[in-house]
Homo-oligomer: A and B are copies of this chain.
Amino acid sequence: MKIYENENIYIEVETSEIPWLKIFPVKKYKELSDCDTKTREELLDTMLLVETQMIKFYKPKKVNIAMFGNYLPHLHIHVMARFEKDSYFPEPMWGKKQRNGNLDLPSSELFVKNLLIDLHKNDIL
């Protein structure tokens, strides 16, 4: 589900037991080094903003970040909040399942609302 878009980037929520966002450039770049400087800076700044907000809101055990794009070569950045009781921890979300996850997380709607406020603040600057 797309939650944010501007002229350079957009953000989607991945359906998952964990808080998981994906940040895409609007132009279909294959690699991070293919991006124009403005888009790359905005992708990385947004990645850092999402990480910071996830830490503040969810207090995860660790934030995980990944850029793969092997199936579809359209660059995107995964930002995931990880918890000791999620189904895969300490493995990456692409690794071997460790247990049936049992998470009691605060409302993702409120998280997205707070994040959008911060993203729009940055747009104005």
- Would you call A62 and B95 a contact (CB within 8 A)? no
With an 8 A cutoff between CB atoms, is A90 at the interface?
A: yes
- Would you call A69 and B62 a contact (CB within 8 A)? yes
With an 8 A cutoff between CB atoms, is A85 at the interface?
A: no
Nearest B residue to A89 via CB reads B70
Contacts of A51 in B (CB 8 A): 31-33
Distance A64 CA – B76 CA, assembled complex (angstroms): 11
| Chain A 54-90: CB-based contact to B (< 8 A → 1; otherwise 0) | 0100000111111111110100000000100000011
Nearest B residue to A48 via CB reads B33
- Would you call A92 and B90 a contact (CB within 8 A)? no
Q: Quick one: which of A22-70 are within 8 Å of B by CB?
A: 30-33, 40, 44, 47-48, 51-52, 55, 61-70
Distance A32 CA – B31 CA, assembled complex (angstroms): 20
With an 8 A cutoff between CB atoms, is A91 at the interface?
A: yes
* Chain A interfacial positions (CB closer than 8 Å to B): 30-33, 40, 44, 47-48, 51-52, 55, 61-71, 73, 82, 89-92, 94-95
